[in-house]
Structure 1
Amino acid sequence: MNAPGRPRRWTPTPLIGGAAAVHAGALASWLAAPATWPWAAGGVIASHLALTAAGLWPRSALLGHNWTRLPESANASIAITIDDGPDPDVTPRVLDLLDTHRARATFFCIGERARAHPEVVEAIVARGHAVENHSERHRHYFSLMGPRALRSEINAAQTTLGEIAGAKPLFFRAPAGLRNPFLEPVLCGLGLHLASWTRRGFDTRTGDASLVARRLLDGLASRDILLVHDGHAATDAHGAPVILAALDTVLRAASDRGLATVTLREAIVG
């Protein structure tokens, strides 16, 4: 395995290799017997549908390696991952909560938000947490981008976050977890690893912190990767971000079950 952060060789997955073979076969079939074009076109369309479905499944490894759980070496640990920040109001309160529980977390930050609030990113690092790449602008059409646009978007965040945090990210999480077959070659070239999650709280949509916590704790086990949000955070009836009460409950339960918290960076570096 390459050293973390170093570019690595991209190897197509069986699905991507199969789709390429279907395209080549369809072209050869059409050239040899033009009347077979409906069958050739049908095969190409089916392969595109399969690739699209794989990209719409955030936890899929069909388009490339995807961290959905920590490696076995993590033992009795879980990872708390926090997306869409930094937020100048919510993130400092999340940091205080993590300090209270002596927990470490991984913050997937948006580049343009980090540029707007560099002091918050600096506080994340100073308090022992990791900063990783969640794209430069968190575009809703991220999964529709081509390879050049993907590289520009991700590399811009690498530069921004690396300068502010003092170390370039080792992990990338796609906006909403959605992606396409062009993403993995870009990540390999930039030395990044794709990370999704084991379970999520849907805390950008749900204003009930207890429900968010139940979703995260249902079946919680060692090596799980949990997803919550400090950016775009839903609020409860009193206007408090639900991440605060939900994460407090989760961290208490994890401690009771003997589960420690680690950052993804710690898990890959060892």
Structure 2
Amino acid sequence: MTVLVDALGPVLRGRVLFAVPTRVPRFAVTLDDGPDPATTPALLDVLARHGARATFFLLGERAAAHPELVARIAAEGHELGNHTWRDEPTHRLPAEEFAAKLADTRRTLEAHGPVRWFRPGSGWPTARHLAITEAAGLRCALGSAVAISGAGAGTADSPAWLDAVVRRGSVLVLHEGPGRTGVAATLDALLTRTGRRGLTAVTLSALTGSRAPIPPRDPDAGPAR
């Protein structure tokens, strides 16, 4: 029971973003695990073709190896998010190692633009890691519509079933990087479908209307209002 409470407590207190209640016809596109020369340029081309914007949750290790891709992401109006240093289950990391990797990634990304958002590796934050990210002025975002097939990149069937669950305020999660070259086609087909429904794809910050990180909260405080 203690493990369950520890896992659900941060979410129940409103500290993790899954979706945004809104009447505006827009949703957020988020892309994890880049940048990568095999996927990022194609994704940027797709987004430009649809007039869409996205939040790229980048790995510090890959961002340091491909600064030109990070620069292009920022220059084309997309948002940079912190996915820590490498592709690994971050919930297994000791607090000090997690904090160091979070900080190293942030320094690497902030050479190209502001960083407001954090997403843990392998999908779930611990309470301690969440406190560290909040103290750093970052907000944790997961998602409400996630591609699971194709190692998170999606397959030929993914756009249809994602279209069925993406709605106003949704946060879409796709994955890019080595072995995930199908992600551009998934996103292209999905944006065509959502566009027909009048939905606009935007960054997380545009969806939430936030212009700055939320302030750190007292972990013992009641639900966010």
In the TM superposition, residue 232 of structure 1 has moved relative to its aligned partner by: 4.0
SS class of match (1:80): strand
SS class of match (2:2): helix
Between Structure 1 and Structure 2, which shows a larger proportion of helix residues? 1
Question: 2:33 corresponds to which residue?
Answer: 84
What are the Cα deviations for residues 12-45 of structure 1, in whole angstroms up to 9, with x where unaligned? xxxxxxxxxxxxxxxxxxxxxxxxxxxxxxxxxx
Say if 1:200 and 1:215, in contact at 8 Å, map to a contact too.
Answer: no
Question: 1:262 corresponds to which residue?
Answer: 202
C-alpha separation between the residues in 2 aligned to 1:226 and 1:208? Answer: 12
Question: 1:151 corresponds to which residue?
Answer: 99
Question: 1:51 corresponds to which residue?
Answer: 6
Question: 1:15 corresponds to which residue?
Answer: none
Question: 1:101 corresponds to which residue?
Answer: 50
Change (3 A) 1:63 1:111: farther
Runs of 4+ off more than 3 Å: none
Identity, in percent, stands at: 30
C-alpha separation between the residues in 1 aligned to 2:32 and 2:152? Answer: 16
Q: Residues 202-221 of structure 1: matches in 2 within 5 Å?
A: 202-205=148-151, 209-221=155-167
Say if 2:163 and 2:190, in contact at 8 Å, map to a contact too.
Answer: yes
Question: 2:125 corresponds to which residue?
Answer: 179
C-alpha separation between the residues in 1 aligned to 2:179 and 2:198? Answer: 28
Q: Which runs of 5+ in 2 are unaligned?
A: 212-225
Decide which of 18, 27, 31 is 1:68's aligned counterpart.
18
Higher relative contact order (CA 8 A, sep 6+): 2
SS class of match (2:127): coil
Question: 2:110 corresponds to which residue?
Answer: 162
Say if 2:153 and 2:176, in contact at 8 Å, map to a contact too.
Answer: no
C-alpha separation between the residues in 2 aligned to 1:263 and 1:185? Answer: 24
TM-score after normalising by structure 1: 0.71
The structure with more radius of gyration: 1
- Tell me how many residue pairs correspond in the alignment: 210
SS class of match (2:165): coil
C-alpha separation between the residues in 2 aligned to 1:198 and 1:268? Answer: 18
In the TM superposition, residue 51 of structure 1 has moved relative to its aligned partner by: 2.8
- Counterpart amino acid of 2:182? V
Question: 1:188 corresponds to which residue?
Answer: 134
TM-score after normalising by structure 2: 0.85
Between Structure 1 and Structure 2, which shows a larger proportion of strand residues? 2
C-alpha separation between the residues in 2 aligned to 1:203 and 1:99? Answer: 25
Task: Kindly indicate whether residue 196 of structure 2 is the aligned counterpart of residue 248 of structure 1.
Answer: no
Say if 2:153 and 2:175, in contact at 8 Å, map to a contact too.
Answer: no
